């Protein structure tokens, strides 16, 4: 096993950053260039990253990513840099107009999938690059709960859409960096065909494993996941997506 694979298999989200330590311009640029070099559909490069280091803008992002119950995410403020990953067909629109035609992909579900997948790949590349340099990271999906405000704050043009954020910074000393256990490998990697036998028993054990990891005998992973996924949320996104010029049909 090489160092890269070992690093990836042992990664852990960091939510305790040293707010006094900043990234050097060279380190930040290296991470961003690694993210930019990630693979994209048809080499279309339908993504962009908004780099947020300004303290006032991080304050805004902290506000935008506060959950409806009032729970804040202080790591959004304390990290050295917050990267906002954006689907970007604004540049693509310019390209196709240069070729004297019109943009069609942005009006399809495929366009949304292509943009989201490319953003996700670039996000992972940035994460791996940052952690290879001894930095900590945590992904922030809560940017999608304040999409309209984020679009206005960061002047995102038509045919762009914010998807996910990434906190990067220096972990505080003594920060626990143990990787969170995953479901058994066989529930992820299916050989020959999809198979999910005895999943009830698997979940019972996994609840115990996560409870032990969280050092909380009351923690139940299946209940936590259910609390998120038993309802639809962020139902405003389709309306905003269309408002940004994506006329999905």
- pLDDT tens sequence across 9-48: 999 999 999 999 999 999 999 999 999 999 999 999 999 9
Predicted local distance difference test score (pLDDT) of residue 121? 98
Predicted local distance difference test score (pLDDT) of residue 205? 98
Average pLDDT over the chain, rounded to an integer:
96
Predicted local distance difference test score (pLDDT) of residue 164? 98
pTM: 0.95
Q: Which strands form 136-140's sheet, in the order they lie side by side?
A: 47-52, 81-88, 160-169, 136-140
DSSP string, 80-103: SEEEEEEEE-HHHHHHHHHTT---
* Alpha carbons 105 and 248: distance in angstroms, whole number: 9
Predicted local distance difference test score (pLDDT) of residue 10? 94
- Tally Cβ neighbours within 10 Å of residue 72: 12
Predicted local distance difference test score (pLDDT) of residue 180? 95
Predicted local distance difference test score (pLDDT) of residue 122? 98
pLDDT one-digit tens code per residue, 169-222: 999 988 878 999 999 999 999 999 999 999 999 999 999 999 999 999 999 999
* Alpha carbons 107 and 112: distance in angstroms, whole number: 8
* The length of the chain, given as a count of residues: 249
Predicted local distance difference test score (pLDDT) of residue 166? 98
Lowest mean pLDDT among 65-69, 136-140, 180-184, 243-247: 65-69
* Alpha carbons 164 and 119: distance in angstroms, whole number: 8
Predicted local distance difference test score (pLDDT) of residue 70? 86
pLDDT one-digit tens code per residue, 146-171: 999 999 999 999 999 999 999 999 99
Predicted local distance difference test score (pLDDT) of residue 23? 97
Could you tell me the residue ranges of all domains in the chain?
A: 3-178+234-243, 180-218
Please check the confidence at residue 116 and state whether its pLDDT lies above 80.
yes
Predicted local distance difference test score (pLDDT) of residue 235? 86
CATH among 3.30.830.10, 3.40.109.10, 3.60.20.10, 3.40.640.10 for 3-178+234-243: 3.40.109.10
């Amino acid at each position: 096993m090489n160092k890269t694979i070992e690093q990836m298999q042992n990664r852990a989200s960091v939510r305790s950053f040293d707010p006094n330590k900043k990234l050097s311009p060279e380190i930040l640029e290296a991470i961003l260039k690694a993210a930019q070099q990630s693979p994209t559909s048809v080499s279309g490069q339908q993504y962009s990253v908004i780099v947020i280091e300004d303290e006032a803008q991080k304050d805004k992002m902290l506000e935008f990513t506060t959950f409806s119950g009032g729970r804040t995410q202080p790591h959004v403020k304390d990290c050295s840099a917050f990267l906002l990953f954006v689907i970007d067909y604004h540049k693509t629109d310019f390209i196709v107009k240069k070729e004297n035609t019109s943009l069609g992909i942005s009006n399809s579900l495929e366009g949304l999938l292509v943009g989201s997948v490319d953003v996700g790949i670039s996000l992972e590349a940035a994460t791996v690059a940052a952690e290879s340099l001894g930095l900590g990271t945590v992904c922030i999906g809560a940017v999608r709960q304040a999409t309209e405000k984020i679009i206005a704050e960061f002047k995102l043009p038509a045919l762009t859409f914010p998807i996910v954020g990434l906190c990067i910074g220096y972990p505080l000393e003594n920060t626990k960096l143990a990787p969170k256990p995953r479901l058994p490998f066989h529930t992820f990697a299916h050989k020959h065909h999809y198979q999910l036998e005895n999943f009830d028993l698997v979940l019972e054990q996994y609840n115990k494993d996560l409870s032990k990891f969280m050092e909380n005998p009351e923690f139940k992973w299946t209940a936590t996941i259910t609390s998120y996924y038993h309802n639809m949320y962020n139902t405003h996104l389709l309306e905003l997506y269309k408002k940004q010029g994506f006329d999905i049909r």
